[in-house]
């Protein structure tokens, strides 16, 4: 049997992970001297409640190799093979930790794919990997297919507030003040494995229109594959996004998700968007 292992930045709910048969390994979130295992010791709702009260952004830390060694040993000793899909290596050393553990435990029966993404983009890869696994693909076939799909996954989202981008040093204080006054809505994506801003509009609806134009003129979604929609503690924003884009993605399987601690630290609450595979 092939077991798929991911980390908590895939933002799969515990219920969804159980349905898919996916093992989720948590990163750690640090609020000052307090440390929480993401999704284990702190829920997403609790995270955003704490985030709203801080003057300094929380930090996160990667999964250590020792944790992966324990997980991989338990799975392979039971006769299973493992496919690992983790947060972008440019964002975290988690993927490197997994590769170290693979070299120690069993290189032949463990495959690690560099996803280059995070949150509901990573969740999209996990969901798709599970479907391919259930179609009977071998471990080497899964590794090859997921590597190809990782190069095609895209994530675009609107951000509701500039506060956390300012706190994280990604924009200046002056830009945040002016942007707040003007009601600026940044548009973010993931490029070279990192979250970057690719545009700004005035208001969420204009943000959706910006993304819509992007999909029409730059990167058209492959609607034969699933599409995920996500939000950061704002399900109504995701619902608006799904209502806007759903009819344009009529043949696609639409899956909901919510943004957790790693990306949520930088974008704050109120963000919403979609992840998809571009056409070949």
3-class SS of residue 75: helix
Count the Cβ atoms, other than its own, within 10 Å of residue 81.
18
Domain co-membership, 145 together with 179 = no
pLDDT at 164: 72
Residue 35 forms beta bridges with which residues?
Answer: 30
Domain region containing 108: 2-27+62-150
Residue 158 forms beta bridges with which residues?
Answer: 187, 272
Compute the CA torsion angle 27, 189, 265, 233 (nearest 10 deg).
-100
Give Cβ neighbours of residue 184 (< 8 Å, ≥ 6 apart).
162, 178, 200, 201, 202
Domain boundary residue, one of 89, 124, 150: 150
CB 176 within 8 A of CB 162: yes
Count the Cβ atoms, other than its own, within 10 Å of residue 268.
26
Domain co-membership, 72 together with 124 = yes
Tokens of 174: 């002056």
In a domain, 118, yes or no: yes
pLDDT at 175: 41
Predicted TM-score (pTM) of the model is: 0.93
pLDDT at 198: 86
pLDDT at 83: 98
Residue 191 forms beta bridges with which residues?
Answer: 194
CB 72 within 8 A of CB 102: yes
Domain co-membership, 115 together with 157 = no
Domain co-membership, 207 together with 236 = yes
In a domain, 84, yes or no: yes
10-residue stretch averages of pLDDT, the chain, 280 residues long? 97 95 96 93 94 90 97 96 96 96 97 97 97 97 98 94 62 43 75 86 93 96 96 95 94 92 87 95
How far is CA 28 from each of CA 61, 142, 223, rounded to the nearest angstrom? 5, 28, 35
What whole-number distance in Å separates Cα of residue 63 and Cα of residue 179?
36
pLDDT at 34: 95
Question: Which uninterrupted H or E stretch holds 52?
Answer: none
Only one residue has tokens 């076939």, namely 141
Domain co-membership, 96 together with 227 = no
pLDDT at 102: 98
In a domain, 262, yes or no: yes
CATH number for the domain spanning 67: value is: 3.40.50.10440
Domain co-membership, 101 together with 176 = no
How many residues belong to the chain? 280
pLDDT at 112: 98
Our count of domains for the chain comes to 2
Domain co-membership, 13 together with 114 = yes
CB 85 within 8 A of CB 4: yes
What whole-number distance in Å separates Cα of residue 177 and Cα of residue 175?
6
What whole-number distance in Å separates Cα of residue 123 and Cα of residue 214?
22
Domain co-membership, 209 together with 103 = no
């Amino acid at each position: 049997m092939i077991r798929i292992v991911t980390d908590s930045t895939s933002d799969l709910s515990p219920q969804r992970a159980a349905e898919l048969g996916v093992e989720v390994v948590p990163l750690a979130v640090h609020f000052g001297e307090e440390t929480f295992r993401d999704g284990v010791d702190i829920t997403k709702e609790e995270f955003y409640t704490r985030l709203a009260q801080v003057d300094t952004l929380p930090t996160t830390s990667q999964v250590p190799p020792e944790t992966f060694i324990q997980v991989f040993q338990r799975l392979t000793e039971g006769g299973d093979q493992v496919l690992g899909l983790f947060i972008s290596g440019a964002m975290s050393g988690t993927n490197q930790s997994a590769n170290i553990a693979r070299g120690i435990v069993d290189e032949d029966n463990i495959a690690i794919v560099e996803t280059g993404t995070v949150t509901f983009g990573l969740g999209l890869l996990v969901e798709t990997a599970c479907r391919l696994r259930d179609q009977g693909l071998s471990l080497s076939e899964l590794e090859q297919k997921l590597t190809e799909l990782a190069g095609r996954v895209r994530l675009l989202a609107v951000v509701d507030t500039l506060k956390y981008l300012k706190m994280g040093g990604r924009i200046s204080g002056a830009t945040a003040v002016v942007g707040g006054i003007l009601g600026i809505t940044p548009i973010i994506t993931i490029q070279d494995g990192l979250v970057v801003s690719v545009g700004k509009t005035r208001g969420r609806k204009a943000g959706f229109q910006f993304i819509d134009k992007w999909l029409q003129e730059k990167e058209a979604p492959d609607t034969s594959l699933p599409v995920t929609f996500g939000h950061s503690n704002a399900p109504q924003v995701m619902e608006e996004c799904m209502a806007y884009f759903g009819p344009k993605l009529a043949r696609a399987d639409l899956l909901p998700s919510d943004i957790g601690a790693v990306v949520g630290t930088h974008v704050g609450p109120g963000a919403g968007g979609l992840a998809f595979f571009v056409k070949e």
